Structure 1
Amino acid sequence: MHRIGYVLTEGFQVLALATQSVFEFANIVVGETFYAVENYSAAGGEVRASLGLLVSTRALADNSEADTWIFTGVIQPLARQTPAAELAFARKVSPQARRIAAICTGSFVLAEAGLLSGRRATTHWAHARDMQKLYPEILVEDDRIYVIDGPVWTSAGMTAGLDLALAMVEKDLGADIARSVAHKLVMYQRRSGGQSQHSELLDLAPKSDRIQSALEYARKNLNQALTVEDLAKSAHLSPRQFSRVFTAETGQSPAKAIEGLRLEAARLMIEQSRHPLEVVAHETGFRDRRHLREAFIRGFGIPPQAVRREVRERA
C-alpha cells in the first residue's frame, strides 16, 4: 500500500482535493486499495478552504508517515503565513519520503523550507516571477505543467495538479493504468510535464459551438493544408461567413490562429520527441524545415533548434 499525505493550510485552494480522485480511481482500476490518502494540517482538526469548505485533518506529528507528501497552495502565496510546524515537518520528512510534492503555490512552502534550493521547480504562472525573485537559488520553470527533479515534484496551478497526480499513478502502476484512470475521469488528454502552461486554444476562447468544432477539427488535422474552405465546411458555414464569425469571436484571422496551433503542436513535439525537424514540420503542417524555423522565430523569437537544445541541457 502506498500512503499519501496531503498537508492543508488555512485558506488552501479547494481544487487541490480534486487530485485525490486520481488516486481513488487508480484503486478502482487495479481492484485493490493501492493508495491510502489522508489529510493533515499543522494543528489538526478542521481546516477551512478558500471557498469556506471545512475539511477534517490529522495533526502533523513526529510519527506521521507517508510515502508521498503533497503540500497544497493558497490563492495569495505572498500573504500566506506558513505555520512553523509545517515547515519543520517538511524539512524532516523530505529525506525519508519516497516523494515530496506541491500543487500550485504549495511550491512556496517547499521553497520556504529550503527543499527547492538548487532544484528545478514550477508553480502557477501568475506567481512564478515572485518565486524566482524571492528564491533565486531555484531554477523556476514558469512555463511547465509540472516538474520532477529527483524525489521533488511540483506542479503549475489548478488543474495541473491532476496531471501531476496522474503522472504519479503512471510512475507507480504503469501507463495503461494511468490511461484508464484518465478515461474514467473524462480528462480531455493526459498532459506531459513538459507541456506549456500556455494554451493557444484557451487564448482563442471561441464563443460558439461551430467555431469550437472548427478549431477542434484543425487541432486533429494539423498535418493537412487546412484551408478556410475546410474549416468552414466543418463548421457548416460558408467560407465568407466563417471568416467573419471566426474573427469576431477570437480576435484573429483563421490563418493566424491555425499557425498558432501549429506552433504549439510543433514546440510540444520538439520538447517531447527526438524526431528530426523535417518530421516535426510535416506532422504539424509546415511546408518544410525552413518554413518551421521562420514561423518559430516569428512566434517565439527563437529557432526550433534552440528549444531542443534547451530541453537536452535541462535533461
Structure 2
Amino acid sequence: MRSVGFLVFDGFQVMGLAALSVFELANLLSGQAHYDIHMLSDTGGRVRNSLGFGIETAAVGDVFHDTTITTGSLLAKPAPSALLDYLRTASTRSRRVAGICTGAFLLAEAGLLDGRRATTHWGHARSLATRFPKVRVEEDRIFIQDGNLWTSAGMSAGIDLALALLEEDLGREMARSVARAMVVYLRRPGGQSQFSTLLELEPKSDRVRRALTYAKENLRNELSVEELAEAASLSPRQFSRVFRQETGQSPAKAVEHLRLEVARAMMEEGRHPMDVIARETGFADRERMRRAFLRSFGQPPQVMRRLADHERHVGTA
C-alpha cells in the first residue's frame, strides 16, 4: 500500500481536496487498498478550509509518506515553519513531493524548487516568479514534473496531477478508468495550456455555444459554415454574422484554434503518429496541420513534439 500525506493549513482552498478522489476511486475500482491517505497540518487537530468548515488532521512529525502533497490557498501566504521543515525532509524521504495550485509557493519557500521547473495557477505565476527568482516558472502549464517534484496549476488541475501520479503507479488503464468515473473528459497532459479555446471565445448565446461544442466533438468533420449553422439552428449568413459579433473571430478561425488545441494536446501525450493526429483533428493531412502550427505558434509540429518529448524525459530522469 502506498501512503499519501496531504498537507493543509488554515484557509486552504477546498477544491484541492478533489485530488484525493483520484486515490479513493483507484482503491474502489480496483477492489484493493492501493492508497492510504493521511491528512496533516503543522499542529494537528481541526483545520478550517476556505469555506470555513474544518477537517481533522494529524500533526506533522517524524513519519513520512510515499507521496507528500501540499495544497494551496486562494491567496498565497507564508507557510507555517513546521510545514516548511517537514517538506524539506520529505523531499529526501518521500518518493514524490507535489504542490497543487499555490502549494508551489510552499515548495519554493522551502527552497525545493530552486533551479527547477514549476507551475501554479496562472493568476499567481508572475508573483511566484518574482518572489522566487531561482524557480523556472512556466505559467501556461497544467502540471510539471521535475525529478521527484510535481507542481500543478489551480483548481481542477490538481485532479490532472493526481491522475498522472496514479498512472505512474498503476498504469494508463487504471488512470483512464478513474477519469471516467470522475466524469473527467480526458486526463490533460501536463504540457497542455491552462487556457481553453472555448473559454477564450466566450460566446454569449446558447446557439453559438452549441455550435462550438458541436465543433469540438466533431473535429474530424469538415465543419463548414453550413454545418455549424445547422448545429446552431441558424441560416449560414445569420450564423456567420452572429458568430463574429459574439467571438470577434470568423467560424473558420475559431475551428482552426480548436483543432490546434486538441492536436497540440495529442502531440504532447506522445502516443499518436503525426498522420493520425492530423486526421483525428480534421486537418486532413500533415502539411495543412504544419501550416496552421506555423501561423499560430511560429514552430512546426515536429519541433513542438520534440520539445514535449524532451520535457517528459527530463521530468522522469
TM-score by length of 1: 0.90
Q: Which runs of 5+ in 2 are unaligned?
A: none
Q: Which residue of 1 aligns with 2:68?
A: 69
2:185 is the counterpart of 1:184: no
Q: Which residue of 1 aligns with 2:37?
A: 37
2:158 is the counterpart of 1:145: no
Q: Which residue of 1 aligns with 2:238?
A: 241
Q: In terms of mean alpha carbon deviation, does 156-165 or 46-55 score higher?
A: 46-55
Q: Which amino acid aligns with 1:240?
A: R
Provide closer, same or farther for how the CA distance between residues 171 and 309 of structure 1 changes in structure 2, counting only shifts above 3 A. Answer: closer
Q: Distance in 1 between matches of 2:190 and 2:215?
A: 24
Provide closer, same or farther for how the CA distance between residues 275 and 125 of structure 1 changes in structure 2, counting only shifts above 3 A. Answer: same
**SS of 1:203 mapped into structure 2:** helix
Equivalent residues of 2:188, 2:265 under 8 A apart = no
**SS of 2:267 mapped into structure 1:** helix
Q: Which amino acid aligns with 2:59?
A: A
Post-superposition offset of 1:249: 3.4
- 1:211-269 deviation per Cα after TM superposition (whole angstroms, max 9, x unaligned): 33322221233233211001112223221232233234333221221121122223223
Equivalent residues of 2:191, 2:308 under 8 A apart = no
**SS of 2:158 mapped into structure 1:** helix
**SS of 1:126 mapped into structure 2:** coil
Matches within 5 A, 1:249-260: 249-260=246-257
Q: Distance in 2 between matches of 1:287 and 1:188?
A: 24
Q: Which residue of 2 aligns with 1:98?
A: 95
Q: Which residue of 2 aligns with 1:23?
A: 23
Provide closer, same or farther for how the CA distance between residues 273 and 175 of structure 1 changes in structure 2, counting only shifts above 3 A. Answer: closer
- 1:92-140 deviation per Cα after TM superposition (whole angstroms, max 9, x unaligned): 1211112111101101111111112232221111222222233333222
Provide closer, same or farther for how the CA distance between residues 287 and 166 of structure 1 changes in structure 2, counting only shifts above 3 A. Answer: closer
Provide closer, same or farther for how the CA distance between residues 117 and 304 of structure 1 changes in structure 2, counting only shifts above 3 A. Answer: same
Q: Which residue of 2 aligns with 1:174?
A: 171
Q: Distance in 2 between matches of 1:176 and 1:42?
A: 36
Q: Which amino acid aligns with 2:67?
A: T
Post-superposition offset of 1:289: 4.6
**SS of 1:26 mapped into structure 2:** helix
What is the aligned length? 312
Equivalent residues of 2:9, 2:41 under 8 A apart = yes
Q: Which runs of 5+ in 1 are unaligned?
A: none
Q: Which residue of 1 aligns with 2:211?
A: 214
Q: In terms of mean alpha carbon deviation, does 271-280 or 216-225 score higher?
A: 271-280
Provide closer, same or farther for how the CA distance between residues 311 and 179 of structure 1 changes in structure 2, counting only shifts above 3 A. Answer: closer
2:105 is the counterpart of 1:108: yes
Q: Which residue of 1 aligns with 2:127?
A: 130
Equivalent residues of 2:78, 2:106 under 8 A apart = no
Q: Which residue of 2 aligns with 1:11?
A: 11
Equivalent residues of 2:240, 2:251 under 8 A apart = yes
Equivalent residues of 2:270, 2:305 under 8 A apart = no
Q: Which amino acid aligns with 2:58?
A: R
Q: Which residue of 2 aligns with 1:203?
A: 200
TM-score by length of 2: 0.89
Q: Distance in 2 between matches of 1:131 and 1:276?
A: 36
Equivalent residues of 2:143, 2:152 under 8 A apart = yes
Provide closer, same or farther for how the CA distance between residues 99 and 288 of structure 1 changes in structure 2, counting only shifts above 3 A. Answer: same
Give the CA RMSD over aligned residues.
2.2
Post-superposition offset of 1:312: 4.1
